[in-house]
Every structure is written in C-alpha cells, then in structure tokens.
Chain A
Amino acid sequence: MTTHFAPASPSAVVSMDLITKTFPGVKALDQVKLDLYPGQVTALVGENGAGKSTTVKILTGIYQTDGGTIRIDGDPVTFGSPNDAAKAGITAIHQETVLFDELSVAENIYIGHAPRNRFGLIDTAQMHRNAAKLLADIGAPFSSHTQLRELGIANKHLVAIARALSVDARVVIMDEPTAALSHKEIEELYELVETLKAQGKAILFISHKFDEIFRIADRYTVFRDGGFVGDGLIADITEGDLVTMMVGRSVDQIFPDRDHDVGEEVLKVVGYTHPTEFADINFELKRGEILGFYGLVGAGRSEFMQAFFGITKPSKGLCRVNGDIKVIRSPAEAVDNGIVYVPEDRGKQGAVIGLPIFQNITLPSLGRTSRNGFLQLAEEFKLAREYAERLDLRAASLDQDIGNLSGGNQQKVVIAKWLATQPQVIILDEPTKGIDIGSKAAVHEFMAELAAQGLSVIMVSSEIPEIIGMSDRVIVMRDGLIASELTGDEVTPEILVRHAAGITTPTESVAQ
C-alpha cells in the first residue's frame, strides 16, 4: 500500500492536521489530515465508519478535537461551538436537511441571522430582497415567499445551499447530498456545485458513489478505520486505485454468478391500482428469481410495494400466491402468505431498540415459538441462534441490547428476522443504499444465495449496476406505471435510463 501525499499548498482555506478524536474507550479519528482549497471540490472517501461524519462534526464545531490543529488561512483556530465554526465561514448541508417546514423560504435562509431594522426587529422586506437575490444566483425555480413544506427534497437542498451562501460561507460541506435525489435533480446539483466553485468556495463532498466523485471532485482524501490513508488530485488516480485505498484490499466489483434455473410461478400480481400513486401493475414472479424494480425516485415503486404488502390500501387489484387467489389487507396477512418486506430505511423501520437481539429476530415468528398462548423462550433462542449463525451475526450474546450492535450487524438482525419467518417472497427495498462497497458485495452475495435456495426476491433499487448485476428480469416504472419489462441483453444502462425517464429517442448523455 503506497501512501499518497499531495504537494503541500499554502493556499488551503482549511487545513486539519494530525486531528485526533477519542470517545470513551474509542478512538474515532487518529491523526488525520484534511485540506480544503478555494474553488475546488475535495471528495472525502471512506467506508462506513471510516470517520467521515466525525470529521464533519469537528469542522462544524459540534465535536471538539482531542489533538491536532485546525488552521484557517494558516492561523490556528479552535471551534468551541457550532457558532464559532459558522463565524469562520464553515457551513454544512446535511444528508437530511435541517430546515423548518412551517416557515417560508426566506425565513429558513435567514433564521438566526435575519437582517434587523433600526428598532432591532426583523426587517422582513430586506430579508426577502436578499433571499430573492441568493435564490436567483443559484437558479432556484421558486420564490422566497414559498412555504418550505411545499417544496420537494431537491428544492429543499437549494434552500439549504442558499442558507449556506447567506452566511457568506467560504467552506461548504455536502454530506451525501445526492442520496435522495433523482437523476435529473443530481444533474442540477452538479451545476450548482460548479457555480459554488466559480464563486471560490471550498467544497468538501462526501459520497459513496464513485461516478459522482470522478464527475465533480478535484481532489480526494481517503480515510480508513479512523486513520488517514492518502490524498491527491482526482486527475492522478483511477477508480480502482481509489477503491483499493479505501478498503485496503482490492475488491472485485463483480456480482455473484447466478446460473441456476428459475422454477414455477410463485406470485402473480394483477391490476394493482391506487387512486393517486400507481395504476395497472401486473407481473409474475417465479421460484428462485430475482426481479428488479428500477425507476427514478418517486416513480411509485415503494408506494406499490407498501400497498401490495398491506400497509396502504390499493383501490383495485389481486394476487395469486402458489396458484391460490389471495387478498392481502394487512402486513400480518402478507407475512402469513409468506411475503415479507425489508423496507428502505432500516434504521427507522428495522430494529426495535429496547428489545434484545433474539427478541428482535423472533418478533414476526412469535406464533411459531409459543405454546398455549405463552412464549417459549428456549424455542425463541433456538430459532434466533439458527438464523444468527446463518448470517454470521457478530454479537457477544443474543440477549444483548440491539442498540449496542454496529450498523452492519443490526442489518443482519433485521434480515434474520425476516428469514426466520421462512418466507417465499422477500421484497428488498434499496437493499444497499448508503452502505459501503464491502458490505454491498456481502448483501449481493447473500441475495444470490437466497435465490439459489428457492426464495423469490423482488429488489427495488435505484442503482443501475446493482439492477443489471443482480436481476434475472427488470421492471421499469415511470410515473406510477410499468414502463417496460426487460430481460437478458435488453438490460443496459442506456435502456434503463431511457425507459425510466421516458426518453423515446436515444440520447448521447446517459448515466455512466
């Protein structure tokens, strides 16, 4: 492993040197360095848990360092509070934008530093004038008087960026800004980043997506396990080398081989329709098949899955499970019919904090582990242990609080929970969203293994490589309708993007 050092440049706006941060018993950052330059985008790269978030929190004054120096324009500074960092011109746009739904755009931009009139009261007119100018600068298509709640997530990002500019920020931190954006919105964000660069802002860009990093970053800095690995110019490095630096080993990004035959029909869905979200959804699913659902964010994929699973009510539609017509009116009925749904936001919708690991695993299977209405703890433990072992769950004890597990292991608990119900059909909604490359490969491996064992998988995904690499068949949804169904050689990035975006003629600019 060679370590790359960029030539020292005196022009860095922010320079973090030998920064160390220790939590009780844990060193989160160990002598890392990070330099940010005016008018340049620096990508901070690392697997989950590499220390990226801690770095952002130190830069924005939420955490204080235990060692090392932060320099602004070469002068050492200490940030005792988020306020100090803001005064130094450092601002962050978070994964989940922190804004106020009930306030107007202008109020959101100027909350905390609104212009005052001579009586010390907020000068509303001046505030709206300033806000309108900022919004025009970044090309925002809405007025400063708009209520924030009326805006979509991409436009909320614009508000967050306008807010960053309103404090005269010199450093803008973007923490996975594209995670929830559709393809078109991402393009708009790139343009905005270019605008910010042109204005001389130093940008710290955190992303898991390599195409993004190579598209907009000028420099990179790699962290691994809380330590500094290397930095340099994007122009001097290849995607493969960056991955190697990040994971410390070469990861082959090849998807698992899947050459088994699919079996007979397990599920057939006919005419699912919802008054406002989707219409006329028909498809079938065979034993051992992985069916990909591709589409832009908001195409109605998750909405259909939730209705199919019985969480929301469709107005029309029925399904056939193993040849028998079934009406699924609630999640409990779906689970009874061997259909389970692993939702997108596993943090929020997955683990039950407060229950120990084994009780999390057995939660949907309690019918099988109880006798005469009483739960048999020994049976529960047995069931939980079986699936924990199958998934190679690393925990000191299954009686442990689930909150003490790492994210990856919590995810295993959530998947173990569903496998323990012995399902026939498993719906995975964005199974690898926001997780690092190493964990992604493990999830893909596992998915292939499940299919080989005869489980049918419906995989909702917005990541093209994953859709192409994993699916036997792909359904593309657009605006609540099925746009196309693709198999074999038809599944190419270009066709997927065209069908999802509704472009009828081939274009030269498609997603990489």
Chain B
Amino acid sequence: MMRFIPVREAILGSAILILLVLVASRFSGFVAPSNLANVFNDTAPLIILALGQMVVILTRCIDLSVAANLALTGMAAAMINVAMPGLPIPVIIAIAVLMGAFMGAINGVLVWKLSIPPIVVTLGTMTIFRGIIFLISDGKWVNSHEMSAAFTGFPRTVFLGLPVLSWIAIFTVIVFGIMMARTQFGRSIFAVGGNPHAAVYTGINVGKTQFWAFVVAGALAGLTGYLWVARYAVAYVDIAGGFELEVVAACVIGGISIAGGIGSVGGAVLGAIFLGVVKNALPVVNISPFWQLAISGSAILIAVAFNARSGRAKGRIILKSAEATQ
C-alpha cells in the first residue's frame, strides 16, 4: 500500500500541470522555460516562508508575524545599507537572518515559557513589529536610489541561468528536506505535532521544540526580508502586508495539517508554487484579480476537504475473514 502523503503531492502536482496546460491553451508563451523561471523566481519568497511556516504548523502552532518580521528586517537591512553602503552583502544577510531569528525567538519564548496560545502571541508581535518599523523609519520610505547597487543587485544576479533569489529558495528546500527527514530536530517536530503527550514521555521537550520552530521560521522571515526589499528596491511600513495569510494558505494547500504532525517539505513547496502559478497566470489570460482570490480560496477549501477525507479513520477489521483479504 502506498503512503498517502506522496499521493497527495502527486495530486497537487497534477493540479499545477493542468493549470499550466489550461493557461498554455490560451497563451502558449506562459509555459516557455524563461517565463516559468520567472514565475518560480517570483514565488521564491513564498516558498522560503512556507517552509518556515510548515515547521511551526507541524508543531501545532501558527506564526502570523512572519510578514511583519520580514518587513521589519527588510527595513532594518535597507537602513543599514543606507548608513553603511560599504558593508558587504553577506554581512547584511547574516544580520537579517539573526534579527529574524531573534524575533522568532520572542514568539517562541512567549509560547514556551508563558504558554500563551501561538495565534495570540504572533498576532501581538505582528502588530508590534509593524509598529517598530514605523518608529525606526518615521513612516518614511527607503527608495532604490538610496540603496547601494550591490544591495539591490544581489538577488537578481544570474547564476547558472537562474537569479540568486531562485537559488536561495532551491537551497532552502534542500536543507529543509534533509532537516525534516534526517535530523533529530526534524523528527521531534513531527513527534511534537503528532502526539505531544507521547513526545513528553519520549524525552522530547515539547515547548523547546516549538521554540526552535519559531526561531527557524523567524530566521527565514529575516532572510526573506532582505531579499524582498532588495528585489523590489523599496522599503516601507506596509510591505508584504497580509502576506502571512498567503504563507499559511500555501501550507494548507500543500497538505500541512493545521492540527499539526502531518505534512511534508514537498507539499509546502507545491502549495506555494500552486499559488504562484495562479497569481502569475490569471492576469496573462485576462482573468480579473478578484477571480484569483476566489480561486486561491477555493483551493484552500478543496485541499482541506480532501485532507479531511483521506485522514478519516477506516473501519476496523474485526472479522477474521476480512483480515485475510487485506
């Protein structure tokens, strides 16, 4: 019997292919390799954030502060670049990741030590982070002409045919694939989400695992913060406003169970790509952005309904005769 998670990924993959075929039948240029690469590059931030969110959701939490975290680290990175234009990009990236991780750690500590429900914690920090951006920037924008060429150029640098932004997403996917499948931390995340009581008796510290999940999600949000601001060459209070919901949507469409414990890296990536394709394809074939919202929403409901069906327990095998045929 095949495990049902790959089946689910196959179905989501097929849905993406069907969508591409439908769009290609109206506008064949959409499926040209160069355009698909553009779509992927455009979806890269969503993929990175969805992986962080996946880890958090797997541990039975949720992080609504990722977009605000992204905006704050992005603003900080931009302001540092303006103040010290000579600072090398790797240093800026390191600062952004650490800052993001620190903000994730704040969420994590509140969930772990004070046992505040994650949705409340991150709703609070989301608002606080946005407020801090306003305080440090006075509500002003940092525009492209103030940023150094190296700062804005890095994510767009083409390397082996793809921009660095795409490569970072690919690299993150690989690291997460290994982390979830082959490290104790990855296994603990599934255990904590799948059955927290059992995890305790196994010697896994549930709160601590959730804390590290938030740190990971925060670090990725920080990384994306720099990439986002550099790519769009602008930083202001409201960048990526509401993006946290798109990130959660990507996870849900990708089959990450909102109740925790079930999900996969492949699922999160495909969920993000599905949303990315919808967002890029519909304008091309002259479908209004409102339809785009409706399609994304329907995809969420279909995905959840599908997961609820496949997750439903089967009847028990009680008759000996029935057992033999299994």
Q: Which residues of A contact B (CB under 8 A)?
A: 23-28, 30, 49-51, 225-227, 309, 311, 330-336, 341-343, 345, 348-356, 359, 363-364, 366-367, 370, 373-375, 377, 396, 399-401, 403-404, 406, 417
Contacts and interface: CB of A to CB of B under 8 A. Distances in A.
A169 to B, nearest CB: 28
Contacts, number: 128
Contacts of A403: 313
A27 B318 contact: yes
A332 B313 CA distance: 32
A375 B191 CA distance: 15
A350 B198 contact: yes
A395 to B, nearest CB: 11
A348 B201 contact: no
Contact of A352 (B195, B257, B320): B195
B309 to A, nearest CB: 13
> Which interface class (under 10, 10 to 19, 20 to 34, 35 or more) fits B?
35 or more
Contacts of B1: 396, 400, 404
Given A359-B187, A375-B183, A352 B318 contact: no
A28 B315 contact: yes
A26 B183 contact: no
Given A25-B325, A374-B182, 17 more contacts: A25-B315, A26-B317, A27-B321, A27-B322, A28-B318, A49-B316, A226-B319, A311-B201, A332-B204, A352-B261, A354-B193, A355-B190, A363-B187, A374-B178, A375-B183, A401-B4, A403-B313
B322 A25 contact: yes
24 contacts: A25-B314, A26-B318, A27-B318, A28-B316, A28-B318, A28-B319, A225-B320, A330-B205, A331-B201, A331-B202, A345-B197, A348-B197, A350-B195, A352-B198, A354-B190, A354-B261, A355-B187, A363-B204, A364-B203, A370-B184, A374-B182, A375-B182, A403-B313, A404-B314
B94 interface: no
B175 to A, nearest CB: 12
A352 B190 contact: yes
Contacts of A406: 316-317
Nearest to A54: B318
B314 A353 contact: no
Nearest to B321: A27
A226 B18 CA distance: 46
A interface majority secondary structure: mixed
Given A351-B195, A374-B182, A364 B202 contact: yes
Contacts of B322: 25-27
A425 to B, nearest CB: 14
A363 B202 contact: yes
Nearest to B311: A403
Interface string B108-143: 000000000000000000000000000000000000
Contacts of B197: 343, 345, 348-349
B199 interface: yes
A33 B178 CA distance: 56
Contacts of A404: 1, 314
B3 A331 contact: no
A373 B1 CA distance: 31
A335 B195 CA distance: 18
A56 to B, nearest CB: 14
Interface in B190-241: 190-191, 193-195, 197-205
A140 to B, nearest CB: 32
B199 to A, nearest CB: 7
Nearest to A340: B201
Query: Which of the listed residues A23, A352, A401 has the most CB atoms from chain B within 10 Å of its own CB?
Result: A352
A109 B317 CA distance: 36
B51 interface: no
